[in-house]
């Protein structure tokens, strides 16, 4: 049964760049779990092409294969033909959205997209969660088993451990010592509410590295969630508003959330007037890797998980490892399958909890094998997902943003 009008859709020339070699298949998390060609990058591209050429309709089966894709872009890293799978996926999701979300996801999607990209609403929802958690209601709800009837809600509830106190940030953090430049800091939606200390530490490290840090108060969401869900108009509106919140003369706009950074670096692909803004976007590890940062010792064994939208979306692989490697005493243990998605993928873990769980289990097994007691990951979604898995499994492992380790090492430095 067709689910909507087959109009628009991904660029056929981009689709035709795929030469069906299959090199991307072993790197695709959903193919690794399901072993199905249609749940691989090559299979999904085949489906997109068949739809574009009118050989298949946008059926529920078609949608299911697209919905199951994480948008992790591991296939882009692997692809020798340079197929921009992320762009194809966004266009396909926009095409599918014209038929509306599937019934089983309608309510959850409505909640996610009316709350998550709006920092004030997200803050209010998290304050309500804090009350739910600390009042004892959580234990009652869990014991009742009612959450089993709502898998998406159950996944959201399980993911959150607690909500930390807010950490106010000044609008400007002055540079320490010789001024190396002026940068803006994106505070992010999830990051500002659930990992506010990471934002504070990011500003502190940039300041120590000689950067004046501008943190505009009114900044909103980068629009990444909407982009990946096939809502290009909402994404473009958020992108324009966010870019306008930052002064035009900054050297860089710094992010510490991989998903936000990947979307912002590609603003110019979709919104030409934001090209100049996009070229100034940097992950915090890119900026700090080239900076003069004095670090003291940390006696720790740490393993590093590559957040998909940092390693595949931004091709930032070396900088976080180099920075962690500069901390005296820190032993960096390579993580098996470090570039394989942990199942978080924006809100994928809420919308597709079963596949997300499979991928999380695989990630936890590799973490346990590493023997490290600290896992570093540069994206709030990965931090939440892996921390949840470790809590559930009783793994005694701390999950931190690399910035947290660098800030501790900077504090440990003595002249």
By C-beta, is 21 or 276 nearer to ligand SF4? 21
Tokens coding 372: 């490290």
> What is the number of H-type helices and E-type strands within the chain?
24, 9
- One of 15, 38, 42, 363 touching ligand SF4 (CB under 6 A): 42
Query: Which neighbouring-strand residues pair with 278?
Result: none
Provide the minimum distance between the beta carbon of 314 and ligand SF4 in the complex, in angstroms, as a whole number.
Answer: 15
Assess contact for 328 and 311: CB atoms under 8 A.
no
Is there binding between residue 397 and ligand SF4 (CB under 6 A)? no
Is there binding between residue 18 and ligand SF4 (CB under 6 A)? yes
- One of 9, 10, 29, 389 touching ligand SF4 (CB under 6 A): 29
Phi, psi dihedral angles at 113 (to 5 degrees)? -85, -10
Provide the minimum distance between the beta carbon of 312 and ligand SF4 in the complex, in angstroms, as a whole number.
Answer: 8
- One of 30, 201, 219, 256 touching ligand SF4 (CB under 6 A): 30
Is there binding between residue 279 and ligand SF4 (CB under 6 A)? no
Q: Report 63-122 residues binding ligand SF4 (CB under 6 A).
A: 69-75, 78-79, 81, 83, 85
Is there binding between residue 22 and ligand SF4 (CB under 6 A)? yes
Tokens coding 74: 């591991």
Is there binding between residue 223 and ligand SF4 (CB under 6 A)? no
Is there binding between residue 374 and ligand SF4 (CB under 6 A)? no
Q: What is the rounded CA–CA span in Å between residue 87 and residue 50?
A: 17
DSSP 149: G
Is there binding between residue 340 and ligand SF4 (CB under 6 A)? no
Is there binding between residue 23 and ligand SF4 (CB under 6 A)? yes
Q: What is the DSSP string of 300-314?
A: -EEEEE--HHHHTSS
Assess contact for 183 and 207: CB atoms under 8 A.
no
Is there binding between residue 19 and ligand SF4 (CB under 6 A)? yes
Burial category of 201 from C-beta neighbours within 10 Å (exposed 0-12, middle 13-18, buried 19 and up): buried
Is there binding between residue 355 and ligand SF4 (CB under 6 A)? no
- One of 21, 166, 172, 276 touching ligand SF4 (CB under 6 A): 21
Is there binding between residue 359 and ligand SF4 (CB under 6 A)? no
Stretch that binds ligand SF4, among 21-29, 108-116, 228-236, 326-334 (CB under 6 A): 21-29
CB atoms within 10 A of CB 135: 10
Provide the minimum distance between the beta carbon of 281 and ligand SF4 in the complex, in angstroms, as a whole number.
Answer: 21
Phi, psi dihedral angles at 212 (to 5 degrees)? -80, 130
By C-beta, is 70 or 206 nearer to ligand SF4? 70
Q: What is the rounded CA–CA span in Å between residue 36 and residue 41?
A: 10
Q: How many residues bind ligand SF4 (CB under 6 A)?
A: 27
Burial category of 6 from C-beta neighbours within 10 Å (exposed 0-12, middle 13-18, buried 19 and up): middle
Q: What is the rounded CA–CA span in Å between residue 306 and residue 408?
A: 21
Is there binding between residue 252 and ligand SF4 (CB under 6 A)? no
Provide the minimum distance between the beta carbon of 359 and ligand SF4 in the complex, in angstroms, as a whole number.
Answer: 10
Q: What is the rounded CA–CA span in Å between residue 219 and residue 169?
A: 13
Provide the minimum distance between the beta carbon of 86 and ligand SF4 in the complex, in angstroms, as a whole number.
Answer: 7
By C-beta, is 18 or 122 nearer to ligand SF4? 18
Residue 253, classed as helix, strand or coil, is strand
By C-beta, is 81 or 275 nearer to ligand SF4? 81
Among candidate residues 329, 277, 333, the one with its CA nearest the CA of residue 300: 329
Site residues (CB under 6 A) for ligand SF4?
18-24, 27-30, 41-42, 44-45, 69-75, 78-79, 81, 83, 85
């Amino acid at each position: 049964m067709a689910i909507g009008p087959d109009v628009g859709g991904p660029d056929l020339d981009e689709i035709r760049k795929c030469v069906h070699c299959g090199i991307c298949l072993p790197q695709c998390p959903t193919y690794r779990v399901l072993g199905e060609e249609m749940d691989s990058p090559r299979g999904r591209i085949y489906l997109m092409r068949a739809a574009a050429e009118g050989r298949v309709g946008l059926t529920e089966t078609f949608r299911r294969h697209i919905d199951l894709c994480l948008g992790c872009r591991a296939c882009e890293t692997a692809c020798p033909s340079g197929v921009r799978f992320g762009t194809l996926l966004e266009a396909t999701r926009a095409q599918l959205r014209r038929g509306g979300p599937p019934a089983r996801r309608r309510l959850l999607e409505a909640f996610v997209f009316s709350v998550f990209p709006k920092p004030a609403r997200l803050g209010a929802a998290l304050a309500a969660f804090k009350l739910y958690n600390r009042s004892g209601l959580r234990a009652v709800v869990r014991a009742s088993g009612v959450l089993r009837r709502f898998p998406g809600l159950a996944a959201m509830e399980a993911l959150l451990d607690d909500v930390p106190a807010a950490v106010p940030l000044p609008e400007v953090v002055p540079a320490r010592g010789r001024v190396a430049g002026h940068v803006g800091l994106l505070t992010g939606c999830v990051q500002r509410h659930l990992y506010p200390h990471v934002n504070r530490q990011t500003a502190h490290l940039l300041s120590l590295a000689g950067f004046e840090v501008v943190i505009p108060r009114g900044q909103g969401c980068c629009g990444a969630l909407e982009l990946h869900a096939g809502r290009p108009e909402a994404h473009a509106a958020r992108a324009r508003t966010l870019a306008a919140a930052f002064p035009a003369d900054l050297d860089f706009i710094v992010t510490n959330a991989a998903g936000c950074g990947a979307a912002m670096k590609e603003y110019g692909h979709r919104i030409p007037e934001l090209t100049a803004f996009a070229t100034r976007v940097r992950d915090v590890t890119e900026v700090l890797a080239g900076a003069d940062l004095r670090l003291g010792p940390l006696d720790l064994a740490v393993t590093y998980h590559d957040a998909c939208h940092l390693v595949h979306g931004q091709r930032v692989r070396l900088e976080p490892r180099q920075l962690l490697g500069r901390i005296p005493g820190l032993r960096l243990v390579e993580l098996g399958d470090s570039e394989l998605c942990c199942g978080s993928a924006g809100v994928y873990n809420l919308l597709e909890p079963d596949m997300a769980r499979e991928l999380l289990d695989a990630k936890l097994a590799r973490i346990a094998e590493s023997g490290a007691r600290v896992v570093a990951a540069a994206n709030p979604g990965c931090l939440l997902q892996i921390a949840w898995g470790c809590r559930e499994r009783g793994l005694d492992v701390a999950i931190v943003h690399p910035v947290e380790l660098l800030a501790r090492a900077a504090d440990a430095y003595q002249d």
